Amino acid sequence: MGFRQLFKKEWKGTFPVFAVYGGLVTLIHLILLYKNASLVKDIVFVFSLLLPAILVGVLAVGTGFYQLHTEWRSNSIYLLLALPVRGWKVLTAKLVAVVSHLVATLCWILLSFSLSLLRTQWADLQNAEWSRFWPSLLNLTAHMFWMYLLIVFVLVALVQFTFLCGQLVARMKWLFMIFAFVGSLWLILRISPPLASLLLWTPDIVLGSEFDVLHSGPFLILFLAGACLIGLSGYIYDKEVEV
């Protein structure tokens, strides 16, 4: 079984979770559409877009942990360990499946919002005061999207590493996993600033206008941290874990 087959297996296994979530979000959109006249527009925006987008990220991180937990609980981990596939590939397939569902669900939330609630607010968005901000808002939204995906990517890699660390001990697994998660997160946050200072030569990220910029170094460090976590988790998966 190659990477593509592993990805398809994980994608099909986690699809129902995100499909149900997408359906619930659409139901919320319909309820808000029915109650739209009596609600403040800020409340509609928060409960129709902002909150669902945040919660699906939390769902993705939880799914990353649940994938491995299910493998151990159902003993299907024996089948994976018997495959001639490196551990990092198995973990990457799980992570990519989760992130792809995250992207698809975010797109579904946006589509559902556009077909239901956006048309009720379209007149306000088309006025002259808003129109001049559209290019900057679209630019900012695009950058926030990939930053959000990067953060979820690192957190999913972190919970995979956390779970595998818990399998290294025979007792008090959950306590060990908590220490592994908190310690790893602290280490990433602690070493990111000094390492990012070594990447001052990397280009800046322009947010909305040329006067609003972010240094790309910290985001490169986050990506490398996620890649290192996958590699370390793969080593633990291959060499150290006993099932």
> What tens digit of pLDDT does each residue of 115-126 get?
887 776 665 666
The range of the structural domain enclosing residue 192 comes to 133-242
Whether the pLDDT of residue 241 is over 70: the answer is no
Same domain (yes/no): 200, 93: no
Whether the pLDDT of residue 128 is over 70: the answer is no
- According to the model, what pLDDT value does residue 180 have? 93
Q: Which residue would you say has higher pLDDT here, 132 or 202?
A: 202
Cβ proximity of 173 and 166 under 8 Å: yes
Cβ proximity of 150 and 222 under 8 Å: yes
Same domain (yes/no): 147, 229: yes
Same domain (yes/no): 41, 119: yes
Domain boundary, last residue among 99, 124, 149: 124
How many DSSP H helices and E strands does the chain contain? 10, 2
Q: What is the DSSP letter of 169?
A: -
Cβ proximity of 22 and 105 under 8 Å: yes
Same domain (yes/no): 173, 108: no
3-state secondary structure of 167: coil
Same domain (yes/no): 89, 140: no
Same domain (yes/no): 21, 90: yes
Torsion of CA 150, 151, 157, 163, to 10 degrees: -170
Distances in Å between the alpha carbon of 115 and those of 39, 58, 119, 126? 19, 25, 7, 17
Predicted TM-score (pTM) of this structure: 0.90
- According to the model, what pLDDT value does residue 58 have? 96
Torsion of CA 124, 130, 136, 139, to 10 degrees: 10
Whether the pLDDT of residue 238 is over 80: the answer is yes
Domain boundary, last residue among 90, 124, 158: 124
Tokens of 149: 């995906």
Q: What confidence tens digit (pLDDT) does each residue in 149-188 have?
A: 999 999 999 999 999 999 888 888 899 999 999 999 999 9
Give CA–CA dist 62/12, Å, rounded: 17
Q: Which residue would you say has higher pLDDT here, 206 or 182?
A: 182
The total domain count for the chain is 2
Same domain (yes/no): 1, 108: yes
Q: Which residue would you say has higher pLDDT here, 214 or 98?
A: 98
- According to the model, what pLDDT value does residue 76 have? 79
Question: Mean pLDDT lowest for which of 97-101, 184-188, 203-207, 217-221?
Answer: 203-207
How much is the average pLDDT of 43-66? 91
- According to the model, what pLDDT value does residue 161 have? 96
Name the percent of the chain lying above pLDDT 90.
47
Band the pLDDT of 92: cuts 50, 70, 90. very high
Give CA–CA dist 72/243, Å, rounded: 7
- According to the model, what pLDDT value does residue 21 have? 96
Same domain (yes/no): 90, 192: no
Burial environment of residue 229 by CB neighbours within 10 A (0 to 12, 13 to 18, 19 or more): buried
